[in-house]
């Protein structure tokens, strides 16, 4: 039986696009301040999860909501289950958007909105792939389960809870990365450098704030401080504009008597590729490092400058490591917080590491602890630790997915290993598969995020073919 998958997508593309627009309108940023038993990660992720599951009910699938943590949409029956993992939560929109991030706009063949490429657009492509198979009444020998998450961008608490109540699929993929395939992912851990809040010198750091999430390169940074006198404030203002002119950043500085406020703008990016962004937090620390702060404020600024600034591979702190297959360790300084008289819990620099095989979390922590002890800072480990993950090329799952990609694109498939973490690693035989095509423009976790409509529809056809071949 020959199926023209592209034709089936074409017949449904307006419906698909309308459903995607409505899903993108749901602001699904995690908000712990509004978390309840009914909304474990805040109302936004819950509402987006329920919105996606409602599509499944509307279209006649078997649907289950697991206490608003996660849910699933089922197709077919069988002893084995093919799992597809998408997520409805998004990173904070941040600044720099040309349009409302939660009112999707179609322009130049692209749909712009937060979540369009990560991960509502790809999730909708995978869902419509299932919908096509259902509407064509194609026979399957395996169950297909689309698992919908709501906390992928933070702590994966959704999946931890979900799998306490539901059995894991036997194999599967996540539409949350790139084609041809992602069959390897580096390990992932965050280590926080913590500082006290004392500083009482001629220059006093009142506050320093930069970053939205540990897995985002900070695009903006703000500091407020007190300087010795008005002349020092004027001199700092002049120095700041010279600094901005000499570096790939922009910003503003305001002085009122001896109080100064600085705002600096860099470029946000995904924390798995810190080298592709311009870290506003570390650049602001670099500017302040030449001033005579003392105590913990000096330590905070110095550490950010000496060990963090423009070091994407952990070389300055002595943890650089490269594996022949998995590549280099990367380090992203995603969060900078300092408050005068704050505690070590409040004052920190969060370093997110994506590490290959050959180096352990214990080794990372020990090296950092030894170095920071000399700098007067402490180190704490984040709750979530992910070890490196790899599914061999000869696995039938990988082989089938690559063959589908080749058949639809005419291009040779190949394996890829990334620093980003996807739900594909939830399964021993789990990978990430699309929906971004080679040479795409990566706007994930950035302002003006978009997905190409041609890529959206092409991915839908690939997903439909892949699901059918894996489950028929």
Token output for 422: 């996807």
Name the region of 341 (left: φ>0; alpha: ψ -120 to 50; beta: rest): left
Q: Is 394 a catalytic residue?
A: no
Nearest alpha-carbon partner for 431 in 155, 222, 171 = 171
Q: Are 222 and 395 in contact (CB under 8 A)?
A: no
Among residues 151, 152, 153, 176, the one annotated as catalytic is: 152
Strand partners, 42: 40
Nearest alpha-carbon partner for 300 in 260, 262, 338 = 338
Among residues 8, 19, 29, 89, the one annotated as catalytic is: 89
Nearest alpha-carbon partner for 115 in 453, 460, 448, 461 = 448
How many Cβ atoms from other residues are within 10 Å of residue 124's Cβ? 28
DSSP letters, 376-421, are T-EEEEEEEEE--EE--TTSHHHHHHHHHHHHHHSS-----EESS-
Beta-strand runs (E) in 39-159:
62-66, 70-75, 81-87, 105-107, 110-112, 143-149
Q: Is 89 a catalytic residue?
A: yes
Contacts of 34 (CB under 8 A, 6+ apart): 42, 43
| SS3 assignment, position 199 | coil
- CA 245 to CA 278: how far, in whole Å? 15
Q: Is 54 exposed, middle or buried (0-12, 13-18, 19+ CB in 10 A)?
A: middle
Nearest alpha-carbon partner for 281 in 311, 314, 242, 313 = 311
| SS3 assignment, position 208 | strand
Q: Are 214 and 332 in contact (CB under 8 A)?
A: yes
Q: Are 127 and 73 in contact (CB under 8 A)?
A: yes
Q: At what angle do helices 295-303 and 361-375 cross, to 10 degrees?
A: 140
Contacts of 74 (CB under 8 A, 6+ apart): 61, 62, 63, 64, 143, 144, 145, 146
Number of H helices, E strands in the chain: 11, 26
Catalytic site residues?
89, 152
């Amino acid at each position: 039986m020959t199926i023209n998958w592209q034709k089936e997508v074409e017949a449904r593309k307006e419906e698909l696009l309308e459903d995607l627009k409505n899903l993108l309108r749901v602001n699904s940023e995690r908000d712990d301040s509004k978390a309840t038993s009914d909304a474990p990660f805040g109302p936004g992720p819950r509402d987006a999860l329920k919105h996606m599951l409602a599509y499944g009910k509307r279209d006649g699938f078997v649907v289950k909501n697991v206490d608003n943590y996660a849910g699933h949409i089922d197709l077919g029956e069988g002893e084995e289950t093919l799992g597809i993992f998408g997520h409805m939560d998004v990173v904070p929109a941040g600044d720099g958007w040309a349009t409302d991030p939660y009112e999707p706009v179609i322009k130049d063949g692209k749909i712009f909105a937060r979540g369009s490429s990560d991960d509502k657009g790809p999730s909708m492509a995978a869902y419509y792939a299932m919908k096509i198979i259902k509407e064509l009444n194609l026979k399957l020998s395996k169950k297909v389960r689309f698992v919908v998450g709501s906390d992928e961008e933070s702590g994966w608490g959704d999946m931890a809870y979900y799998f306490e109540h539901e059995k894991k699929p036997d194999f599967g993929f996540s539409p949350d990365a790139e084609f041809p395939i992602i069959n390897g992912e580096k390990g992932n851990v965050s280590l926080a450098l913590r500082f006290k809040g004392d500083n009482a010198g001629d220059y006093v750091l009142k506050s320093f704030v930069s970053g939205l999430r540990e897995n985002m390169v900070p695009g903006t940074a703000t500091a407020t401080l007190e300087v010795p006198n008005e002349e020092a404030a004027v001199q700092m203002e002049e120095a700041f504009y010279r600094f901005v002119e000499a570096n790939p950043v922009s910003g503003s500085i305001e002085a009122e008597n001896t109080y100064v406020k600085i705002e600096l703008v860099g470029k946000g990016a995904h924390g798995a590729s810190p080298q592709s962004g311009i870290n506003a937090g570390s650049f602001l620390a670099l500017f302040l490092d030449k001033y005579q702060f003392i105590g913990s404020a000096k330590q905070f600024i110095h550490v950010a400058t000496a060990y963090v600034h423009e070091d994407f591979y952990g070389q300055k702190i002595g943890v650089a490591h490269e594996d022949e297959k998995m590549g280099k360790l990367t380090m992203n300084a995603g969060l900078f917080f300092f408050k005068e008289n704050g505690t070590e819990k409040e004052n920190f620099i969060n370093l997110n590491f994506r590490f290959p095989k050959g180096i352990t979390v214990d080794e990372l922590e020990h090296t950092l602890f030894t170095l920071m002890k000399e700098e007067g800072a402490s180190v704490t480990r984040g709750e979530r630790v992910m070890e490196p993950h790899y599914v061999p090329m000869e696995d039938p799952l990988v082989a089938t997915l690559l063959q589908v990609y080749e058949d639809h694109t005419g291009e040779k498939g190949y394996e890829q290993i990334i620093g980003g973490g996807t739900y594909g690693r939830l399964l021993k035989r789990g990978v990430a598969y699309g929906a971004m095509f080679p040479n795409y423009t990566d706007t994930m976790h950035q302002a003006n995020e978009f997905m190409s409509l041609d890529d959206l529809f092409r991915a839908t056809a690939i997903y439909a073919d892949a699901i059918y071949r894996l489950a028929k």
